[in-house]
Amino acid sequence: MKLLERPCFAPMASRGTATGARPMAFCPQCGAPLATEAAFCSACGASSGSAAPLAPASLAAPAAAPVVATGAPAPAVRPVGVTIVGIGTIVLSALGALGVAAMLLMGMFFLIFGMGTAAAFDFEPFDSFAGGFGAAMFALFFVLALVAAVFVGLGIATGLGVLRGRSWAWPLMLIFMGLWILGGLSSLADQDFGGVFSILIGGLVIWYFFQPEVKTWFGRT
């Protein structure tokens, strides 16, 4: 008895990948796969005459990831008025250093004068008074010069902080301008009308430092 040979079937090639096979086409309207030689899409009914072989959505190239900007943000632009205030503060503070030197010299003058006067007169009560008066005046001017030197240092540091946009420089400048206005009021009380200039400058700077672009420069919103 002759055995029937079982037909052997070759494995089915993937659709659209066999040599010479037509690539699978998809509906240009809804993306559904189209049957071979189909005139219309079975899913949406659109005409397949202009359909072109497309890759399935799952095989499409992934969309490029959005580019995220990295790095430090662009530096803020320093307002012109801030530059003027900062440089002016540094210059005025440097001129204040001359006042410190003048106070020290004045104190040395009283000290030397008192000692010289005491040595010139051979009269004990006057000698003690002259020497003590000279030493006391020297101590007074030395303390005044020390306080002035502290303000000079703070003024220079504040001016540099203003130019660099340091947050701590903003309130310090407001305090300095407040003291400037108080000095102007004191001058007006002594009938010195030059105090009007100090009041106007101090008030203008305080108003300017509350402007949005200036507060942004100092990192304050």
pLDDT in tens, 166-203: 999 999 999 999 998 998 898 888 888 888 998 999 99
- Is residue 149 within 8 A of residue 94, CB to CB? The reply is no
Query: Is 87 inside any structural domain?
Result: yes
Q: Are residues 173 and 186 in the same domain?
A: yes
187 and 132 housed in the same domain: no
Residue where a domain stops, chosen among 163, 189, 209: 163
Task: Note whether 114 and 126 are within 8 A (CB).
Answer: no
Residues 6+ apart with CB under 8 A from 86: 159, 160, 162, 163
Residue 144 lies in a domain: yes
Q: Please state the φ and ψ torsions of residue 27, each to the nearest 5 degrees.
A: -65, 130
Rounded CA separation 48/29 (Å): 9
Q: Do residues 149 and 122 both lie within one domain? A: yes
Residues 142 and 189 in one domain: no
In a domain, 1, yes or no: no
Task: Give me the domain span that covers residue 190.
Answer: 165-221
> Residue 123 and residue 129: Cα distance in Å, rounded?
10
Evaluate whether residue 38 is within a structural domain. no
Q: Within this chain, do residues 89 and 134 fall inside the same structural domain, yes or no?
A: yes
The answer to whether residue 34 is domain-embedded is: no
Phi, psi of 3 (to 5 degrees): -70, 140
Decide: residue 3, CB within 10 A, 0-12 exposed, 13-18 middle, 19+ buried. exposed
Q: Which of 47, 152, 176 is nearest to 102 (CA)?
A: 152
Based on the domain organization, do 99 and 143 belong to the same domain? Answer: yes
Statement to judge: residues 89 and 158 lie in one domain: yes
Predicted local distance difference test score (pLDDT) of residue 135? 79
* Regions of the chain with pLDDT less than 70: 1-24, 36, 48-76, 114-131
The reply to whether 150 and 178 lie within a common domain is no
Number of compact structural domains in the chain? 2
Residues 105 and 133 in one domain: yes
Domain boundary among 115, 131, 163: 163
Asked if residue 115 is part of any domain, the answer here is: yes
pLDDT computed for residue 8 by the predictor: 45
What is the per-residue pLDDT for 192? 82
Residues 205 and 175 in one domain: yes
Residue 41 contacts residue 27 (beta carbons within 8 Å)? yes
Which CA distances in Å does 123 have to 10, 24, 108, 112, 136?
138, 126, 23, 18, 20
- Shared domain for 87 and 149, answered yes or no, is yes
DSSP state letter for 191: T
Residue ending a domain, among 123, 143, 163, is 163
68 in a structural domain: no
Q: Does residue 175 sit within a domain? A: yes
| Together in a domain, 98 and 150 | yes
Taken in order 17, 22, 26, 28, the sign of the CA dihedral is positive
